[in-house]
Amino acid sequence: MFNMFKSQTSLDLTPRTCLAVSLIYCMGSDGEIDPEEVGHLMSVLGRHTTRQHLESAVRYARTTQPAQFLADAAPRLRPDQRLCIVLNMIDSAMADGEAEPGEQRLILQFAEAFGLSEQELTPYFKALVAKNDRAVLDR
């Protein structure tokens, strides 16, 4: 009977849901969620994302450690889906100007779990740095 009061922690880990959960982990990894990160999350997930879907992903992220999520999600994702998720995490972490140490550690943890080397990610990272350096527009 008391199981009825437990929060629901199971979630269908589709690739899109894995992206949402990954970005939520990334947003919360530095202890604060910046408005830029929320905006990035909503733009990445798209207009077809429902409030219920987002709330389910947040609930899952609050009750499941990233290591467990990675163990469950990595085998379900193709290499291109893994790369997409990590690149979106990097972009989210840089949305407020720079990736905080907690965000950096989390992204490296995901990259390792997804079998992505730093060497593979470097060209993408450079492109994301250039994309997010909007200060060049004011010079």
Q: In the predicted model, is pLDDT for residue 47 greater than 50?
A: yes
For residues 116 and 86, the answer to whether their CB atoms sit within 8 Å is yes
Separation of alpha carbons 88 and 135, rounded Å:
21
pLDDT bucket at 9, cuts 50 / 70 / 90: low
Looking at residue 36, what is its pLDDT?
73
State pLDDT tens for residues 79-92. Answer: 999 999 999 999 98
Mean of the per-residue pLDDT values of the chain: 87
pLDDT bucket at 44, cuts 50 / 70 / 90: confident
Rounded to 5 degrees, φ, ψ at 33 are -115, 115
Q: What is the mean pLDDT of residues 15-37?
A: 86
